[in-house]
């Protein structure tokens, strides 16, 4: 097949790099959501630890 003209080839190149960037972004956003959950869990744990300490102290 002859080489595609720049305007047509550009769409394919943008598509390929776009797929790569999109996958990375999706992955990073999943990790971000997990970090939020970890933060929420840590807040709950802090409260639980404070309650436990108060109970053991009284």
Partner 1 sequence: MTFGKGLRGLSIATVVMVATALALVFFYAPNDADQGFVQKIFYVHVPLAIVALVGFIVAGGFAIAHLRTRRQEFDYLSYVTIHMGVIFGVAVLLTGSIWARASWGKWWVWDEPTLVSFLIVFLLYVTYYPLRYSIEDPERRARFSSVFAITAGAFVPINFLAVRLAEGFVHPRVLNATAGDMPGEMRLTFLVSLVGIALLYTTLVKLELTAKHARGQIKALRRALEREPEAGASGPALATVPARPE
Binding site for partner 1 (CB under 8 A): 1, 3-6, 9-10, 12-13, 15-17, 19-20, 23-24, 27, 31, 34-35, 37-38, 41-42, 44-45, 48-49, 52, 55-56
Shortest Å distance, C-beta 48 to partner 1? 5
Q: Which residues contact 12 (CB under 8 A, 6 or more apart)?
A: 4
Shortest Å distance, C-beta 3 to partner 1? 3
């Amino acid at each position: 097949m002859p080489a595609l003209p720049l305007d047509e080839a550009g769409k394919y190149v943008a598509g390929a790099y776009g797929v790569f960037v999109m996958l990375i972004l999706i992955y990073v956003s999943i990790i971000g959501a997990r970090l939020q959950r970890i933060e929420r869990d840590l807040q709950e744990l802090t409260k639980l630890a404070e309650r436990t300490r108060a109970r053991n102290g009284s």
